Amino acid sequence: MRAQYYGHHRNRRRNYSHSRYGDIFIFIVIVLLVLFIYQRFSIKTVNASVQEERYKYYTSVMVNSGDTLSSIASKYISDEYGSISDYIDEVKEMNYLDSNCMIHSGEYIVVSYYGLKE
């Protein structure tokens, strides 16, 4: 009787271990599937950002009557700058303007802008 009981107990163990291996297999398949899906979406994101790469350019702008650094900045600023104040500071630095920021009609100033590769 003991042998039968022991054998029955062993079969139960075997069934439990098969069930456990099945659970592990399903878990691994799910993890691999999630990684595959994540990889597919991340590749599309990278390709999209490469196509949208923008370059910094510089151009000379003639100051017209009534122009201010703010009005000129609003024409050329883009999302790459944190604020219009940051952009104006860059324009002042490029053109060696002091804190008074006096620009006059007929003068030329250099401004930067971002665009796609030309």
**Cβ distance 109 to 72 under 8 Å?**
yes
Average pLDDT score, the chain: 81
The predicted model scores a pTM of: 0.54
When pLDDT is cut at 50, 70 and 90, the band that residue 87 belongs to is very high
Does 62 share its domain with 111? yes
How far is residue 42's CA from residue 22's CA, in Å, rounded to a whole number?
30
- Asked if pLDDT for residue 92 goes beyond 60, the answer is yes
Does 44 share its domain with 75? no
Does 21 share its domain with 61? no
- Asked if pLDDT for residue 80 goes beyond 80, the answer is yes
Give residue 117's identity as a one-letter amino acid code.
K
pLDDT digits (tens, 9 = 90+) for 48-69: 555 578 899 999 999 999 999 9
Does 59 share its domain with 110? yes
Does 6 share its domain with 32? yes
Residue 64: its pLDDT value, please? 96
- Domain extent for 37: 1-52
**Cβ distance 118 to 58 under 8 Å?**
no
Does 48 share its domain with 73? no
Secondary structure element (H or E) that encloses residue 58, with its range? strand 55-62
Q: How many beta carbons lie within 10 A of that of residue 84, not counting itself?
A: 13
Does 20 share its domain with 34? yes
Total structural domains within the chain? 2
